[in-house]
A and B are shown apart, each in its own frame.
Chain A
Amino acid sequence: MPTAKDFLVGRTLSKGWKVTQKVTNPTGETGGHFSSGYLVESPTGKPHFLKAIDFEAAMRAKDPARALQALTEMFNLERDILNLSKSKRMSHVVTVIEDGTENVSVPDAPGGGPAQTVQYLIFELAHESLRHMVTVSKRLPMSQALKALHNVANGLRQLHGVQVAHQDMKPSNALRFVDGVFKVCDVGRASMKGRAAPHDGLSVAGERTYAPPELLYGQVDPDFVVRRLGCDAYLLGSLAAFLITGLPMTAMIIDELDSAARPTVWTGTYAAVLGQVRAAYARALDRVANDIPTEAPYREELLQCIRQLCDPDPDLRGHPVTRATLAGTGNVYDLERYISIFDRLALEAGIHERRKASR
């Protein structure tokens, strides 16, 4: 059944934004099953991206009261995180321009119905997402891929700096803007330390296809750092693997696992299956290595980064020096070292690509 958010196209919102087009394959994000994306124009004619939240859809859920509460909490958390990132001037997190509500009447609602409220967020408009830049047949030049990794790591670290874990860092949630900068978007599945979120009870907050293996096997550490920042570190490594192979690390690991040891089948503990996961991980890493040219100057260091970031054991994940330095005192998954490494490797890859092209 159509709801208010389906009748936004052609409408000028009360704050002067003109909704021009519904986006089915957005270069923004939809961020869930209760939202839609639109292209909008500012009063000055500049294009932006609008994310509309469908509270009406929650009313059709099995338990509307709970669904509505969850959606409201999720929206408020997302809005607060985005406003926080804006106020902290986070350079690699997508900037929210405005948020508001709009009353929209639904023409074919039974009895004409009262106007429904649409809550929205308006963002700067991205050029494209990593998901669409990396095609299965054509990979991103490694200088670009490493720049994306550098920028995404920066965005995640900026969020971590305010105790926010993204938890859904996948290719479609890394957006490239016209100035070539990549930013992290869709904080709809994020968690903020000390603040409850409706998805807190789920072992996997983001999309399972990308999730770290410990969460798929149901090993949920009560510690915010291990469970949530550790998840982000894995997702960054998985993104690197995706940029090289076209597949997320999780899918590669599970593909290498015996069917009886896969998370959808395994009923034992994570500790009991970790040996098998690690053996599968080694084979998955070999696949990644096979897809990096042997002569590439960044090869070994990039593989090392992926190996550390995607370690199936969250207690061993991340940069070993950072782990040793910050153990027991802070975020052992601090991405600072990776930001430096990806930055340097992007430069080296650029030089390598230019030399190759000039030959």
Chain B
Amino acid sequence: MSISQPDAERRLLPRWRPSEATIFAGELASASTVEKEREPDAHFEERKLEWDRERSIEVAAELVASGIVLGRLNEVEPAVRMLADNASDANPSIRAVARRALGERAVAPPESLGLQPGRLDPTPVYSHISALRRHVHLHPRDAYAWVDLARLYTILGQTPSADRTIRVALELAPEDRFVLRSAARYLVHVDDPQAAQRLLNGARATRVDPWLIAAEISVAQVAKRRSVTASLGQRGLDHSQWAPRSSSELAGALGTLLLEDGAMQKARQLFRRSLEDPTENAIAQAQWASQQSLGLIVPAPLLNRPATYEARALRARLEGLWDAAIARSWEWTEFEPTSSRPLMMGSYVAGVVFGDGATVLEFAERGLYAEPHNASLLNNKAVGLAYLGRVSEAAIILAKVVIDTSPNFTQPALYATTGLLAFRGGNPVTGREFYERAASHPYTQRDRSVRILALWHLALEEARALTDQADAAVARAERASKDSKLAEVAALRKRLDEIKSKTTAQRDQ
């Protein structure tokens, strides 16, 4: 194996989406199941009587304003229609309000940065940054705008600017769910999950908000620390304290925690609960969990819900629908441009299944824009370059990574890539040695597929280099993958056949 395997470990970290898209997705609603009682309002009744007496635009405007504030617009529809009418004397502001009330509001679509697959064009991101900077200049206390700005800086990998802006947001709204979840996600992004956990545990809101408890459990997992709020979250779930939508990610986060502890049955129950009224993130988590021998199947209709790009990419990979996996990875990239995970998935599929160096490079370089020091992405970029024959450039990229200090799960891939570069540089002995290190890395005890992939990639390189150990390497890879359900194996066999026919053709010439 050369390419880093994506999603060896998935945590249910909050998605970092623009504020409007997060609101639109219903992720900032009250968590409680309690419904508010409507209070009688004598002024409103008076205004309705006045409207019955005098159907003027002035009275209509007041009645509609009251209807908006009191949540009783449905009772004043004729007044709304009068104001919305083009022929009325209503000024444009009031007419716009009335049209919105009639449902003519162009529902703000989730922000699109107009990002295209392939190399990142930063121009549209910069133009969004300019607009937001103007906005925060006018409205310096709008914490959501500061978070949105930090997100754009993060997309461009401008960490110092992102850091400054996210701290402004936290100063302005230290108890706000959106701000806290976004800031926690940012801190994980910059490899400081401990700070993310401290932040969440320092907020009073985390004691009562299932969305924040879910985030705390997940960042604690990333930080490899004990969650402070997991038991609180479990109690809340036991008492059905929160609406299913609000507790969806909490159930998924607790399920992941139990899955890690090997409590499969309880984990399965929690994942099922997380799917009662799930967010797309909870659906993706359940899809990931379903691949962990949990006996969980995510119902197909859930995968057809809007914005489930990640879940669909994971499912496509599982089913060996490789073109779909790449397409979904690009969609997921646009959906969550601050994350390197879709880019790792895309580059993985392009590299392992297709040996397509150019596409691997596109995904990896896009990811390195936001995370220039990400070991997996640097590894994948080196692979892409090597596949394109740019071995010396690949070596420079790979030299940026110190394998021993890289995360444990990335090390087999880094060893394998070192082996790949040695093979492509004409040194099969060294290449073999590094592939062996990858195949025997302690991590392979935990994840058998890593060993299978390492051995298959060694076999491919042996075959490509026409060494006398090629047939033995292939046989060994076949033995290792016996009974494996890993969909990549079939694709790797296909690549091997292609290499063999190509080398045969070259020999014949």
Name A residues whose Cβ lies closer than 8 Å to a Cβ of B.
Answer: 24-25, 33, 131-132, 135-139, 207-209, 211, 216, 245-248, 250-252, 254-255, 258, 260-269, 271-272, 274-276, 278-279, 281-282, 285-287, 289-291, 307, 311, 313, 316
The interface residues of chain B lying within 8 Å CB-to-CB of A216 are 69
**A209:B135 contact, CB within 8 angstroms:** no
Within 8 Å by CB of B100, from A25, A255, A271, A274, lies A255
Instruction: Name B32-49 residues within 8 Å CB distance of A.
Output: 32, 34-36, 38, 41-44, 46
- B68 interfacial contact with A, CB 8 Å: yes
Q: Give bound CA distance, A247 to B69, whole Å.
A: 11
**B141:A278 contact, CB within 8 angstroms:** yes
B16–chain A nearest beta-carbon distance, Å: 15
Q: Give bound CA distance, A251 to B90, whole Å.
A: 16
**A137:B43 contact, CB within 8 angstroms:** no
The interface residues of chain A lying within 8 Å CB-to-CB of B456 are none
The interface residues of chain A lying within 8 Å CB-to-CB of B28 are 258, 260-261, 276
Main secondary structure of the interface of B (DSSP, over half): helix
B136–chain A nearest beta-carbon distance, Å: 9
**A209:B93 contact, CB within 8 angstroms:** no
User: What size tier do the contact residues of chain B reach?
Assistant: 35 or more
**B94:A246 contact, CB within 8 angstroms:** yes
B79–chain A nearest beta-carbon distance, Å: 11
- B89 interfacial contact with A, CB 8 Å: yes
**B91:A268 contact, CB within 8 angstroms:** no
- B321 interfacial contact with A, CB 8 Å: no
The interface residues of chain B lying within 8 Å CB-to-CB of A268 are 30-32, 208-209
- B258 interfacial contact with A, CB 8 Å: no
Within 8 Å by CB of B69, from A137, A251, A261, A286, lies A251
Within 8 Å by CB of A258, from B23, B35, B60, B70, lies B23
Tell me which of B172-180, B268-276, B384-392, B438-446 binds A.
B172-180
The interface residues of chain A lying within 8 Å CB-to-CB of B97 are 247, 251-252, 255
**B26:A279 contact, CB within 8 angstroms:** no
**A208:B179 contact, CB within 8 angstroms:** no
Tell me which of B142-150, B351-359, B498-506 binds A.
B142-150
Q: Give bound CA distance, A269 to B174, whole Å.
A: 13
Within 8 Å by CB of B32, from A138, A248, A267, lies A267
Q: Give bound CA distance, A158 to B324, whole Å.
A: 71
Instruction: Name B452-470 residues within 8 Å CB distance of A.
Output: none
Mark B86-119 against chain A: 1 for CB-CB distance below 8 A, else 0.
Answer: 0001111110110011000000000000000000
The interface residues of chain B lying within 8 Å CB-to-CB of A311 are 141
**A136:B94 contact, CB within 8 angstroms:** yes
Q: Give bound CA distance, A75 to B175, whole Å.
A: 42
Within 8 Å by CB of A260, from B30, B35, B61, B138, lies B30
B174–chain A nearest beta-carbon distance, Å: 9
Within 8 Å by CB of B36, from A211, A250, A265, A313, lies A265
Q: Give bound CA distance, A279 to B83, whole Å.
A: 26
Besides the known contacts A131-B58, A135-B57, A264-B38, 11 further A-B residue pairs in the complex with CB atoms under 8 A apart: A33-B46, A139-B91, A207-B43, A209-B43, A251-B68, A260-B28, A267-B32, A275-B176, A278-B142, A279-B143, A291-B93
